[in-house]
Amino acid sequence: MDDPTPGELLDRTSEAAQRTARLVRAYWLPQLLFGSLSVIGAVVAMLLTPTHVGVVWLVGAPLAMLATAFWSRGRSESVGVAPDPRPYVIAGVGIFAGATILGFLGRGSALSLVGPLLVVAVGYLAFSRLARSRLVAAMAVALAVGALALSVSWSVQLYSLVTGLLGSGAIGLGAWNWFETARSAHNEA
């Protein structure tokens, strides 16, 4: 058997790196969880008050973050490789802290709902960079545009429409990523 040429070794290394990157870039569960929270928040905003939306997020976001952490840990053990969790943890905690602070500072005004959306948009940009995902970046831009539109023309109905649509988009993005992750895993088997 002949030894592989340097070009063949580079090709094999590149293929292995691409395969590993596909396995590591699964982000479907957080998209489904946080997208669902957005849709629930949109419905709560229509039926109750901004304070109730805050309660949904204060309870739901830490639970979703915890579920994501356990899922990520289990996934890294089953796949055998994992990205450094620190940037994800820093981004997640930063989003939660920033959104919570702006929510409280708003005291039920437009800032209490628009401010957290802008913080989440910045967080989505961070996650898009970590996941190397243009789709997540597009979600971040859409969220920022929606938040800015809300800051100009504030209404609970518009807030519910924006967060409901973006939450539905996150759910769709999560479902797409789940499908792609499952397809990649199946192709590797």
26-to-51, 112, 142, 175, 178 alpha-carbon distances in Å: 33, 31, 21, 11, 7
Give me the pLDDT at residue 21, please.
56
pLDDT band at 113 (very low <50, low <70, confident <90, very high): confident
Helix (H), strand (E), coil (C) string for the chain: CCCCCHHHHHHHHHHHHHHHHHHHCCCHHHHHHHHHHHHHHHHHHHHCCHHHHHHHHHHHHHHHHHHHHHHHHHHHHHHCCCCCCHHHHHHHHHHHHHHHHHHHHHCCCCHHHHHHHHHHHHHHHHHHHHHCCHHHHHHHHHHHHHHHHHHHCCCHHHHHHHHHHHHHHHHHHHHHHHHHHHHHHHHHC
How many Å apart are CA 77 and CA 58, to the nearest integer?
Answer: 29
pLDDT tens column, 54-81: 899 999 999 999 998 888 888 777 766 6
| Mean pLDDT rounded to a whole number for the chain | 84
Per-residue pLDDT, 3: 80
CA neighbours within 13 Å on the CB side: how many for 152? 6
Residue 2 pLDDT > 90: no
Nearest of 147, 146, 139, 161 to residue 116 by alpha carbon: 147
Position 87 pLDDT exceeds 90 = no
The answer to whether residue 109 scores a pLDDT higher than 60 is yes
